[in-house]
Amino acid sequence: MTKEFPASFNKWIDKVKTTFPENEKLHRMFEKCFTNTYTTTLQQTEDGLPFVITGDIPAMWLRDSTSQIRPYLIVAEEDEEMARLIENLVKLQTKCILHDPYANAFNKSANGAGFQKDKTAMTSLVWERKYEIDSLCYPIQLAYLLWKSTNHIGHFTEEFRQALHQIIHVFQIEQQHNELSTYRFERENVRQSDTLNNDGKGTEVSYTGMSWSGFRPSDDACLYGYLVPSNMFLVVVMDYIQEIGAKFYPEDTALIEKSLQLRNEVATGIDNFAKEAHPYYGDVYAYEVDGTGRKLFMDDANVPSLLAAPYLGFCQTEDDTYQATRKLILSRENPYFVEGTLLKGIGSPHTPDHYVWPIALSIQGLTAKTTDEKLAILEMLIAGDGGTDYMHEGVNASNPAEFTRDWFAWSNAMFSEFVLSLCDVYVKGSPLSK
């Protein structure tokens, strides 16, 4: 069941129409995609907080809920009700993290839905307990950008401060996963990418300074435990914590000191273990490493990704290593780069072969340096809707009528953010807005 979107959305719908006056399909697609999270995925918990389902799955992912609501920060600059809604989402995400910082997705109430048979420390409030670094980074990003966009600070509560300490603690434990972590995850009778090997511990790793992640933002298992794009995101949000701590929790010097130390250790780990000289492209980043010398050179469509490093704020778009990495992952050197008769871009092992992800195309557009590349990507996204006016998870690069997930609000939100960037509209405080 859908509901009406606020009148404040019309300013941005009209902005797209005036920027692209002749493109009626884009007008229609943007309006539907931009409003999709608000009109179809917003629910409410028993205590009145906004619960954001991912679309066709009735659970709230910490990652997806942040990404789905992020374009509405632009609306919230002038719409106080929207700002309060986002503030309350941060409060719910904070409660979820304090309940279980290793969980990636939650139920609206303690109803026992989801993957309760998984061999891990499930509770009735947890839908899924795949540990992913990015699940703990995204709520910090949303809290920070809400402050920068609207000057709202009601989400910087004592609970939020406790959650920041909990997040740092988990990241520190997972820097020494083999020795210190008690996290285990196994799912029986599924493909290998849905479970962890080694009795639920995952592939063995050696210390690097980076923090271990069991799963990628696709919810697929990591091949090697140090997921480089997620560690890049970790570095960025530790900077956010230092700024938040200095402003709102100045007496908590431990918070500032621990976040700075962790940030520097992870950044050094990325420099020392995640870079390699490619014979053709020069110095590039690996996607995953294990600290023993094994490296995986690829990129996945889900964010955080290597392609998204400037979008996340880890580096500038012009950075030499990023540009070299970008050339590699947007080529056939990346096993998940797809070229079809209509679309070309990054896909994922999470979806069938020859499927491009609109999320990755939107990120490519947001981080492209030339207008020509941006407009070419826009044309592909418009052509890749499968006749639905919406974005999807993966799309057959030669036949967009074949796609996964009819209702995938994260993809709709990423498309919206990319289209707004073409109108020179960005979330205030976000890296690409500078």
Mean pLDDT along residues 313-326: 98
pTM of structure:
0.98
Q: How far apart are CA 287 and CA 80, in angstroms?
A: 40
Mean pLDDT along residues 396-420: 97
What is the overall mean pLDDT for the chain? 97
> What pLDDT is recorded for position 434?
75
Confidence of residue 2 (pLDDT cuts 50, 70, 90): confident
Per residue in 94-110, pLDDT (tens digit) is 999 999 999 999 999 99
Mean pLDDT along residues 403-429: 97
Spatial CA neighbour of 328 closest among 307, 304, 352, 349: 307
> What pLDDT is recorded for position 323?
98
Confidence of residue 406 (pLDDT cuts 50, 70, 90): very high
Is residue 319 pLDDT above 80, yes or no? yes
Per residue in 23-50, pLDDT (tens digit) is 999 999 999 999 999 999 999 999 999 9
Confidence of residue 347 (pLDDT cuts 50, 70, 90): very high
What SS3 string covers 221-274? ECCCCEEHHHHHHHHHHHHHHHHHHHHHCCCCHHHHHHHHHHHHHHHHHHHHHC
Q: Coil, helix or strand for 106?
A: strand
Q: Which two tokens stand for residue 220?
A: 């697929």
What SS3 string covers 322-374? HHHHHHHHCCCCCCCEEECCCCEEECCCCCCCCEECHHHHHHHHHHCCCHHHH
Q: How far apart are CA 11 and CA 212, in angstroms?
A: 43
Q: How far apart are CA 87 and CA 106, in angstroms?
A: 18
6 within 8 A of 75, measured Cβ to Cβ: yes
Q: Which domains does the chain have, with CATH numbers?
A: 7-433 (1.50.10.10)
Q: Which two tokens stand for residue 396?
A: 């057959």
Q: Is 129 exposed, middle or buried (0-12, 13-18, 19+ CB in 10 A)?
A: buried
Distances (CA, A) of 94 to 38, 104, 148, 154, 284: 21, 13, 19, 13, 35
Is residue 188 pLDDT above 90, yes or no? yes
Per residue in 215-268, pLDDT (tens digit) is 999 999 999 999 999 999 999 999 999 999 999 999 999 999 999 999 999 999
Residues 6+ positions from 175 with CB-CB distance below 8 Å: 207, 209, 210, 211, 212, 262, 265, 266
Mean pLDDT along residues 290-310: 98
Spatial CA neighbour of 395 closest among 329, 349, 343, 333: 343
Is residue 204 pLDDT above 80, yes or no? yes
Task: List strand residue ranges (DSSP E) for 132-235, in order.
Answer: 226-227
> What pLDDT is recorded for position 1?
60
Q: What is the DSSP letter of 5?
A: P
Spatial CA neighbour of 339 closest among 323, 353, 319, 324: 353
State percent of the chain over pLDDT 70.
Answer: 100
Is residue 390 pLDDT above 90, yes or no? yes
Distances (CA, A) of 369 to 96, 159, 354, 366, 379: 38, 40, 26, 9, 17
| Amino acid (one-letter) located at 89 | L
